[in-house]
Structure 1
């Protein structure tokens, strides 16, 4: 009975995303028949239709479960299936240097974005959230980072609100940028993978440039996503140390330790545990646990769909997936991705950006410009054609 209840809960949202995705695909075919080329791809059209629906008609609560399922689970399945059409040889030309370059761009973007945020007067935690969202994977990075640095709900809401809208706007601009700059499919795929916030947005941005751009863009983006793990670990260690110092200072203040030699004190920090011993209290020890919550489940660092994508890609590279299976997987992945794009659009409330604050907006824009310049620099250094 629980299964039927679950289906009943998901059905309204699933039906809505399916209808919007169908309209988007029909719209693409109409464009093709009228102009000989779709000016707005089905993926992008699905995002626009979903965003327009929510902005004009709203989204009642009964649709939430199905829309969230489409935006998350259906998209994850689509990404896994996409791995079947990608071979490791797709990046063989650049190989190790491209992977190293991606890591360098992410680290550089994190540092520059944080500096920009702080220079504009953003609180440290909000600046970190904006930097992680801009540099790694948008809302997912923000959501994963927030509990590690103990960010306030307001900071999380502000950073996510603008990241969602800016990400969609950037996806709409990128295809025109490719034509304006005369970028090849490979160059465009690498550039989109380096600059677009989320995996689904990479799919939407690269679809107009063809399969090669989509494959390379997705692969580059997933390498970028894998940077989330090391970044979270570093932030977690930093948060634990900061909490340890703060708690140690508070304990010293509570104990009232004098500056003179009358009290010999010892502070021990081990794995986030702080102990202060004071000889005036007979060597009594007060201990405070610090850094709770800084840990993160492995599923947050390495989601199942990335593992599935890499597994599919490995099987494809070894020739273990027959063409009879790969081609249907590609079609199913495309259909599911359009559904996920519709759900993504339905999840974006354009009006929420008004509450994000001018400094957050400006910081995110400047950070994205810097990230784009770094991506262009990597293309030039690696001479990707």
Structure 2
């Protein structure tokens, strides 16, 4: 009995530093949801990122983000993101996707693959460092910050290296909310075609909803179904990345000599399919099979908002505007080019869908 006391004390000591930051992140989620309720045009997840950026750049809260909140905010940005991705699976039903027809599904997959390849190539062309081109390509082509978090987990990317990709996907997604509705009539798009365009070309689920709802319920329904079809591709793309990462580490260990080989061998290879991606797929299966009551799906939706919102606030709280202006100009131009590329690919796919 006494032997258990030090364990609990150790657990309490390790979790105590996380409490202030986690409390701040959860409070930010509440504020984000209130703002979204008052102004539906503003996605709650986008608001959460913006609140995080504001918190770390305003004089009063900047010291808190760098000090007592930091441990909890980093924990939320890493671990809450993975839990939120699991609950994201509850939004997906394979029946809705199959109802689109093989041609539409094939075109959506083609847009994702071409967007991923094109954005990654742009990242390399602009000479972005490390995993930044891969993370931006994943976020822009699939489902925004959630996809960036999933890919970073598989690649073992440092938390600090996800900050710029998340900031860019938030920037471009927010631009889409304001710009794309203005182009609907000049481009001669019907509400259905506009919704398809938004679903195929806008990054985050919340940004898709905010953009498509400006054209009515038909546009919104089409946008959500096509967007969620893109989200399903998160699992295979992350799985392929995990396989390549394992192969890279194995090859590096085999080529290394002496101490270097021991060091590489000790590093644990990432699983081909991470546990949280398996959870994501399990949630899709439960939703598709209809085994969950409507109440459970609603609870899952709230849980997704809470965990992803807290994670995005944590990631946003690492974005210092001064540093972003110094180091992120080239990446910002690249992201805007990628945004234009994806919008163009999506626009072409919409015309093929109706042909």
- TM-score, normalised with respect to structure 2: 0.71
Determine whether 1:83 maps to 2:89. Answer: yes
Give the equivalent residue in structure 2 for 1:326.
297
Describe the shift of the 1:107–1:173 C-alpha distance in structure 2 as closer, same or farther (beyond 3 A): same
Describe the shift of the 1:347–1:357 C-alpha distance in structure 2 as closer, same or farther (beyond 3 A): closer
1:30-54 deviation digits (Å, cap 9, x = unpaired): x3xxxxx534243332222221111
Computed over aligned residues only, the root mean square deviation of the Cα atoms, in angstroms, reads 4.0
Checking the alignment, whether the CA contact within 8 Å between 1:102 and 1:223 is kept in structure 2 is no
Q: Distance in 1 between matches of 2:302 and 2:92?
A: 14
5+ residue gaps, structure 1, are 32-36, 148-152, 197-201, 244-270, 276-285
5+ residue gaps, structure 2, are 1-7, 140-147, 185-192, 214-219
Q: Distance in 1 between matches of 2:263 and 2:12?
A: 42
1:244-275 deviation digits (Å, cap 9, x = unpaired): xxxxxxxxxxxxxxxxxxxxxxxxxxx95599
Describe the shift of the 1:349–1:4 C-alpha distance in structure 2 as closer, same or farther (beyond 3 A): same
Give the equivalent residue in structure 2 for 1:169.
171
Determine whether 1:24 maps to 2:32. Answer: yes
Checking the alignment, whether the CA contact within 8 Å between 1:117 and 1:363 is kept in structure 2 is yes
Checking the alignment, whether the CA contact within 8 Å between 1:50 and 1:342 is kept in structure 2 is yes
Describe the shift of the 1:144–1:26 C-alpha distance in structure 2 as closer, same or farther (beyond 3 A): closer
Secondary structure in 2 matching 1:227 = helix
Q: 1:15 aligns with which of 2, 23, 38?
A: 23
Q: Distance in 1 between matches of 2:248 and 2:177?
A: 39
Structure 1 residue 13, shift from structure 2 partner: 0.9
Equivalent residues, number = 317
Structure 1 residue 143, shift from structure 2 partner: 6.8
Q: 2:182 aligns with which of 180, 183, 188?
A: 180
Determine whether 1:189 maps to 2:199. Answer: yes
Determine whether 1:133 maps to 2:131. Answer: no
Give the equivalent residue in structure 1 for 2:341.
370
Checking the alignment, whether the CA contact within 8 Å between 2:249 and 2:269 is kept in structure 1 is no
Give the equivalent residue in structure 2 for 1:297.
270
Give the equivalent residue in structure 1 for 2:99.
93
Q: Distance in 2 between matches of 1:376 and 1:73?
A: 36
Secondary structure in 1 matching 2:69 = helix
Structure 1 residue 315, shift from structure 2 partner: 1.6
Describe the shift of the 1:28–1:129 C-alpha distance in structure 2 as closer, same or farther (beyond 3 A): closer
Give the equivalent residue in structure 2 for 1:226.
236
Q: Could you say which structure has the higher strand fraction?
A: 1
1:121-147 deviation digits (Å, cap 9, x = unpaired): x38xx3x73431222234654675578
1:203-256 deviation digits (Å, cap 9, x = unpaired): 431342468545653451341453133245457768988x7xxxxxxxxxxxxx
1:136-182 deviation digits (Å, cap 9, x = unpaired): 234654675578xxxxx9xx97x745323211211212222442344
1:86-143 deviation digits (Å, cap 9, x = unpaired): 32122113465566555544554455445545555x38xx3x7343122223465467
Q: Could you say which structure has the higher helix fraction?
A: 2
